[in-house]
Amino acid sequence: MSRPLQPARTVGRRRLLEGLGAAALIGSLGGCASARRSAVRSTFAAPHGDAARLQLPELHASPDRITEITVCTRPFRAQGPRLEVELVGAKTVVHNYGHGGSGWSLSWGSSAIAVERALATGERSIGVIGCGALGLTSSILLQRAGARVTIYAKELPPNVRSSLASGIWSPDSRICLAEHATPAFKTVWERMARDSFRAYQNLLGLAGDPVEFIENYFVADSAEGAAPRRESDGRPGFAKLQRELIDDLIPRPASFAPGTHPFGRRYVRRNTLMMFNLAAYARMLLADYLAMGGRIEIVEFRSPAELAALPQQTLINATGYGARALFDDRSVVPVRGQLARMMPQNDVHYGLYYDDVSFVPRRDGLVFQVVGADDYYGYDDASTMPDRAEAERAVTTIASLFTKA
């Protein structure tokens, strides 16, 4: 531990309950989880979109407008998220991590399951390890159920991995391998997805637009679209559950033929997506948690044995990729993701996907990301050094859509 865990009265332990506004804790956030390609990869049918020409404000994108490049590692598990209950010494630990690129998307539903299991122990004073997407939602749900909650975390937003998510509703992004998508898993996943989607509807229209819907346009150079690349090395496929189980939540796509949109001779398909403006959203979650009496202790755990010093008997482990080191969980595989951030453009409220690059129009900064031809892009890559060339490729690829022929 970088700071030994001491009794609550000692100076060495930080209590962030009084005299500390959420604004002092949160800054701007970046992105890591790739935008879903479930609908993106389908073949274009005969154009059936709007009869009138599609009008979109021009996006001002160029490498010199990049303000920041952020990199993080998604915590993928072939079996899917870990939600088991484990005895660690005298402590009951409920795990809530390993969601791949679906952490924010599934956070409310996954945390609801973790909270049920934590409260089933009979304890009403519960500790939560981690202050990212799963840690914050677990803590707030515990508070709503009447529990007293303390978050234990090495870092707070915006310095947590969850702060570097792309901000797109992507509930089946690297959620598990297809071979592990059993009927039982699908039942749990569908519950998490629907519960989370329902929770997000209650956040629409709030100050700062923590959650909003956008139109996303997949652009292709041919009518057939971009067929998914088939792995030649025999690696197993990832589960694709959104279309199978929750297709009713998202409106049907619409297609636009060349000449009916701003992108020249290309073909365009429009989908509706939910987007998270993570700076406003994380600020809201942390403020809500503190307003309900939540406590935060800044501490780093280096082994499960150190949990014995905590006063709570029941803990929720929401450490994400950090669980690989803390609990020696080698089933957690890093999947690298990099974002090029750019200053917001107030008149642009649509997303784009072209040539394996995603653009998301977040209010807290435009987001450009090379997502690759399949979900193995960045797989088992724990490096976090920014790649300027990749960032510029992301920006120039999207910018090329607005080049006059």
Q: What is the pLDDT of residue 403?
A: 85
Q: How far is CA 385 from CA 155, 231, 291, 390, 392, in A?
A: 19, 26, 37, 11, 15
pLDDT in tens, 350-387: 999 999 999 999 999 999 999 999 999 999 999 999 99
- Burial string for 180-211 (b: 16+ CB within 10 Å, else e) reads ebeeebeebbbbbbbbbbebbeebeeeeebbb
d(CA 308, CA 286): 26
247-264 average pLDDT score: 93
**Which pair of structure tokens corresponds to residue 258?**
């060349």
Q: What is the pLDDT of residue 294?
A: 98
Is pLDDT above 50 for 339? yes
Q: Which residues contact 351 (CB under 8 A, 6 or more apart)?
A: 35, 168, 214, 215, 216, 217, 273, 275, 358, 359, 360, 361
pLDDT in tens, 20-36: 333 332 233 333 544 43
Q: Which H/E stretch holds residue 75?
A: strand 66-77
Q: What is the pLDDT of residue 64?
A: 96
**Which pair of structure tokens corresponds to residue 281?**
């959203």
Mean pLDDT of the chain: 88
Q: What is the pLDDT of residue 337?
A: 97
Is pLDDT above 80 for 42? no
**Which pair of structure tokens corresponds to residue 384?**
């976090």
Extents of the domains making up the chain: 22-230+238-402
Residue 34, Cβ density class (10 Å: 0-12 exposed, 13-18 middle, ≥19 buried): buried
Q: What is the pLDDT of residue 223?
A: 84
> SS3 of 174, please?
coil
Q: What is the pLDDT of residue 224?
A: 76
pLDDT in tens, 177-211: 999 999 999 999 999 999 999 999 999 999 999 99
Q: What is the pLDDT of residue 234?
A: 83
d(CA 271, CA 214): 9
Q: What is the pLDDT of residue 26?
A: 29
Share of the chain above pLDDT 70, in %: 84
Is pLDDT above 60 for 98? yes
